[in-house]
Structure 1
């Protein structure tokens, strides 16, 4: 539907999504109803079902996309400009700050769980988020490799995948324990290893696929 909406219609739909996201963040997904969303956004029942004809599940999927976008937007402008070590450390601080601010309540995780992790819609949201996140990290690694700041033989795609996996692992532990130290360690040690692979260090993080032994 979003591709056929007028600018006014698109703005109304976005207002409903943002209002629903705020309601879920404040009240939790279990108790948030469509009536709560309507009251918060000042929309009628007919308006709500005009933009989300399949009801609450369709709205929750739209909110999940919105929350996924926020994961990346909260890391900007640093994530999009990983072209120097100060920029990498600024990005590191932005990631840590985001999850410290979020705490143990993760709206995206709750939404995906509610929708069902194996459903096509939920999987598409998570896959798109991880694909874009990894792509941004990989672009930064490629820039640093071309600038001679990391190991010239670094497999940037696999390094980006490993770094993202470390972040996600740290976030999962934080959601379970409330401790941010594992996320900080994953970021700090990876960046330090990458720096040691530069022109003044050793081999650093070598993540290219090893050759098959004869």
Structure 2
């Protein structure tokens, strides 16, 4: 039976409270007692929504943070219909990760979950799949509308670039740049990956 509106709100409050705890103190310092105190919930309430305890809660936090990755790129990510829109999206992605710096709540939650049960892997895979689909849709829009005059982007999908493959390459570059940012604190590689990816699509700034 689906949760009531009040139940759904309580569950979301617990997840958001846990996410804030992780952002402030780190995942290794996360204690269920602290989450309960922050969210004004009882132990019975917490285990009602998260029977597996901390692991179930971490999985919910990972899903929340994965959704935020995409939400933070809107409305640009859902409207990649012109060269200008692509560059606005690029600027938003770069600003998001520069503001985030070396701490990535999603990475922290996923690394703690591990891949023993495949739960963390499934969350990451779904995030990347959704992200890639939206990038590919933007590339196809350019191909259909002829906005791009680069030789590689042709209105005939058999003659031009493979939208799915190009989206995958762009996403791989972004993820590599984010990993380097988390390691070194520098967003230079992320910026280069974004700029190179858009240049390959013939999108001049």
Q: TM-score, normalised by structure 1?
A: 0.88
Counterparts of residues 83-162 of structure 1 (less than 5 Å)? 83-150=81-148, 151-152=153-154, 153-162=160-169
2:178 to 141, 151, 171: 171
User: In structure 2, how many angstroms separate the alpha carbons of the residues matched to 1:21 and 1:110?
Assistant: 10
Give structure 2 stretches of 5+ with no counterpart.
Answer: 155-159
Is contact 1:38–1:48 with CA below 8 Å preserved after alignment? yes
Q: Can you list the C-alpha shifts for 1:107-165, whole angstroms capped at 9, x where unaligned?
A: 11111111113531101100100000000100000001111134111210000000000
2:197 to 186, 190, 196: 190
Counterparts of residues 2-151 of structure 1 (less than 5 Å)? 4-150=2-148, 151=153
User: In structure 2, how many angstroms separate the alpha carbons of the residues matched to 1:156 and 1:67?
Assistant: 27
Relative distance call for 1:26 and 1:5 in structure 2 (3 A) is same
How many residue pairs get aligned? The number is 195
User: Which structure would you say has the larger RCO, counting Cα contacts within 8 Å and 6 or more residues apart?
Assistant: 2
Q: Can you list the C-alpha shifts for 1:63-84, whole angstroms capped at 9, x where unaligned?
A: 0000000000010110000001
Q: Which runs of 4+ in 1 moved over 3 A?
A: none
Q: TM-score, normalised by structure 2?
A: 0.92
Q: Tell me how far 1:6 sits from its aligned partner.
A: 0.8
What corresponds to 1:210 in structure 2?
none
Q: Tell me how far 1:190 sits from its aligned partner.
A: 1.5
Q: Can you list the C-alpha shifts for 1:34-93, whole angstroms capped at 9, x where unaligned?
A: 001001000011100111111010000000000000000010110000001111011001
Is contact 1:149–1:195 with CA below 8 Å preserved after alignment? no
Q: Describe the SS at the equivalent of 1:4.
A: coil
Q: Tell me how far 1:7 sits from its aligned partner.
A: 1.0
User: In structure 1, how many angstroms separate the alpha carbons of the residues matched to 2:126 and 2:184?
Assistant: 27
Is contact 1:145–1:154 with CA below 8 Å preserved after alignment? no
Q: Describe the SS at the equivalent of 1:54.
A: coil
Over the aligned positions, Cα root-mean-square deviation in angstroms equals: 1.3
Q: Describe the SS at the equivalent of 2:27.
A: coil
Q: Describe the SS at the equivalent of 1:53.
A: coil
Is contact 1:78–1:90 with CA below 8 Å preserved after alignment? yes
